[in-house]
Structure 1
Amino acid sequence: MLLSRVLEEKLGSLYRAGGRIVGGVYLGKGQEAFSAALGVQLQAGRDVYGPLIRDQAGRIAFGEPILECVRTYLGAVTGPMRGRDGNIHRGRPRDGYMAMISHLGSLLSVVAGALFARRLSGNLKDGVGATSIGDGGTSTGAFHEGLNMAAVEKLPLIVSVANNQYAYSTPNNRQYACKNLVDRAVGYGVAGYSVDATDLGACLNVFRTAVECARNGGGPQMIVGSLLRLSGHGEHDDASYIPNSARKGPGTGDCLVIAEQRIIDEAWMSEKEVRDYHAEARAKVDQAISKVSKEPSPDPFKEGWQALSSADLVEGQHEA
């Protein structure tokens, strides 16, 4: 959680400085507990993970090196996308780490499809799949189709729904009419859980339960976490549409601050040890930024990449 927060704050500052990052920057500030609590339950190589734009903490928990993140944001040729794709579209699909799709809801279908393909090939075993979505994304057709298919096939799919109260600038009361988003789980025939997403302990418990249930044949699991986005939709957005009244009350705090305070109160770590962790995280991020800043950008005259997988379909490479 801490490494994600420090890394994203650095990426945000580089974006605001201008010129260093092409494309948008979307921070998971306030969502780290919910994201990391899922990622830490999964195993790279065994499970399938399709993170969303605010899942940097989950990506790190799943095993993504921060160098891969920085290389993608700064467009280095050494990164997993070799500087050829948007900064949030990185992944290693062959390893079960899916590249994010900007069309919200689509990843649910992709992860469900990956699980079904594994089942057909006899390679599913006890692996599970997991993906994330926001409250607004649950109203898309792709979300409905993917979750319905996963429910019918009883796929071991975990869907984390981060209800941050706003689909960009649209509040909950203009998004859905049910009392709570978790009520939708019943309609799909899947298990549903609600959790205060600012409480790290509660998030760890609910995701542990859901993942174990999915691994043991319990079918899809949907977890709805209540929280408040602590920044704009992206670094281009000042979130002025969120009233001050919405920033107070249960489920609106900073999950990182809450977790650190509990760690200190329980005497699991001292205040100095927490400060040392902050310093260590900053040093790791600064080292990554420094290293990647010296790495080359892609050279269009040397790249042999093509959008179409079959060379004979590429324009100019086949006879009419």
Structure 2
Amino acid sequence: MTAARVLEEKLASLYRAGGRIVGGVYLGKGQEAFSVALGLQLSKGRDIFAGLIRDQAGKLAFGEPMLDATRTYLGSALGPMRGRDGNIHRGRPKEGLPAMISHLGSMVSVVAGMLMSRRLQGRLGDAVGASAIGDGGTSTGAFHEGLNLAAVEKLPLIIAVANNQYAYSTPNNRQFACANLVDRAKGYGVEGYEVDGKDLLACLQVFQHAISRARAGHGPQMVVGSLLRLGGHGEHDDASYIPDTIKHSEHGRDCLQLAEECALERGWATVTELAALRESSQKEVDRALAQTSREPSPDPYKESWRALATSALVDEEK
């Protein structure tokens, strides 16, 4: 959580400085506990994790190298997308990290398809696939189609719904009429859970249970975490549409601060150790950005613009 927060703070400052980052910057501030609780309990190389624009913490916990993030944001030709794609559209599908599609609901279908593919090839084993989505994304057709398929086929799919109260600027009461998003799970015959998305321990416990249920053959599991993104939709957005009453409500509390307070209360860390953790994260971020800044950008005259899926460009032949 700390590493993700420090990295994104630096990326935001580079975006505001102008020129260093092309495209938008979308921060996961306020969502790190919910995201990391899922990514931490998945196994890279076995499971699938499709994080979205606010899942930097979960991706790091799953095992994404920080250099993959900095290289994609700064357009390095040595990154996983070779500087050829948007800064958040990065991934390594062979390692269980599919590249994000901006039509966010689509990732539910993508992960369901990856699980079906493995099953048909006889290599699914006890693997699970996790797809992150926001409250707004649950209103898309792809979400419903993908979840329906997963439910009928009893796929080991985890749907992590981060209900941050707003789909860009549209509040919950203009998005859905059900009392709670977790109610939608029942309509598909899917097991659903609600959790305080700011509470790291609660999130860890709920995801542990959901993942174990999916691995045991109980089909898709939906986890809805209530929280608030502590900023705009992206760095281009001032979030002026969010009332101060919500910003200063229980929803608006900082999950990283709450996790630090919990660690101190339980004796898991001292103030000095927490400060050292942030300092080491800062050094890791600085090293990654310094290395990336020295790396080449794609050369339009030498680069092959064929799709990365072309046989001559598969990962092992880079």
Q: TM-score, normalised by structure 1?
A: 0.96
Question: What is the rounded CA distance, in whole Å, between the counterparts of 2:10 and 2:310 in structure 1?
Answer: 40
* CA deviation after TM superposition for structure 1 residue 310, in Å: 6.8
Deviations 1:14-35 (A, max 9, x none): 0010000000100000000000
8 A contact 1:40–1:61 mirrored in 2 = yes
Deviations 1:189-209 (A, max 9, x none): 100000000000000000000
Question: What is the rounded CA distance, in whole Å, between the counterparts of 1:43 and 1:310 in structure 2?
Answer: 27
For 1:6-45, what aligned pairs fall within 5 Å after superposition? 6-45=6-45
Structure 2 counterpart of 1:6, which letter? V
Deviations 1:243-297 (A, max 9, x none): 0011133332100000001111111111011001011110110111111111111
* CA deviation after TM superposition for structure 1 residue 114, in Å: 0.3
* CA deviation after TM superposition for structure 1 residue 308, in Å: 8.7
Question: What is the rounded CA distance, in whole Å, between the counterparts of 2:76 and 2:48 in structure 1?
Answer: 26
The equivalent of 2:171 in structure 1 is 171
For 1:255-294, what aligned pairs fall within 5 Å after superposition? 255-294=255-294
For 1:110-189, what aligned pairs fall within 5 Å after superposition? 110-189=110-189
Question: What is the rounded CA distance, in whole Å, between the counterparts of 2:243 and 2:285 in structure 1?
Answer: 33
For 1:193-232, what aligned pairs fall within 5 Å after superposition? 193-232=193-232
Distance 1:309 1:30, change over 3 A: closer
Deviations 1:106-129 (A, max 9, x none): 000000000011101100010000
For 1:227-238, what aligned pairs fall within 5 Å after superposition? 227-238=227-238
The equivalent of 2:88 in structure 1 is 88
Corresponding position: 1:241 with 2:241: yes
8 A contact 1:198–1:252 mirrored in 2 = no
* CA deviation after TM superposition for structure 1 residue 307, in Å: 3.7
Larger Rg, first or second structure (1 or 2): 1
**SS in structure 1 at match of 2:44:** coil
**SS in structure 2 at match of 1:58:** helix
Query: Any stretches of 5+ residues in structure 1 without a counterpart?
Result: 312-320
For 1:280-319, what aligned pairs fall within 5 Å after superposition? 280-307=280-307
Structure 2 counterpart of 1:284, which letter? E
* CA deviation after TM superposition for structure 1 residue 234, in Å: 0.2
Alignment identity in percent?
67
The equivalent of 2:314 in structure 1 is none
**SS in structure 2 at match of 1:49:** strand
8 A contact 1:76–1:297 mirrored in 2 = yes
Distance 1:286 1:158, change over 3 A: same
CA RMSD in angstroms comes to 1.1
The equivalent of 1:104 in structure 2 is 104
Question: What is the rounded CA distance, in whole Å, between the counterparts of 1:166 and 1:296 in structure 2?
Answer: 38
Question: What is the rounded CA distance, in whole Å, between the counterparts of 2:250 and 2:20 in structure 1?
Answer: 37
* CA deviation after TM superposition for structure 1 residue 162, in Å: 0.3
Question: What is the rounded CA distance, in whole Å, between the counterparts of 2:310 and 2:79 in structure 1?
Answer: 24
Deviates more, 1:91-100 or 1:248-257: 248-257
8 A contact 1:35–1:57 mirrored in 2 = yes
Query: Any stretches of 5+ residues in structure 2 without a counterpart?
Result: 312-318
Distance 1:223 1:309, change over 3 A: closer
Structure 2 counterpart of 1:52, which letter? L
Question: What is the rounded CA distance, in whole Å, between the counterparts of 1:222 and 1:252 in structure 2?
Answer: 23
* CA deviation after TM superposition for structure 1 residue 306, in Å: 1.2
Distance 1:309 1:277, change over 3 A: closer
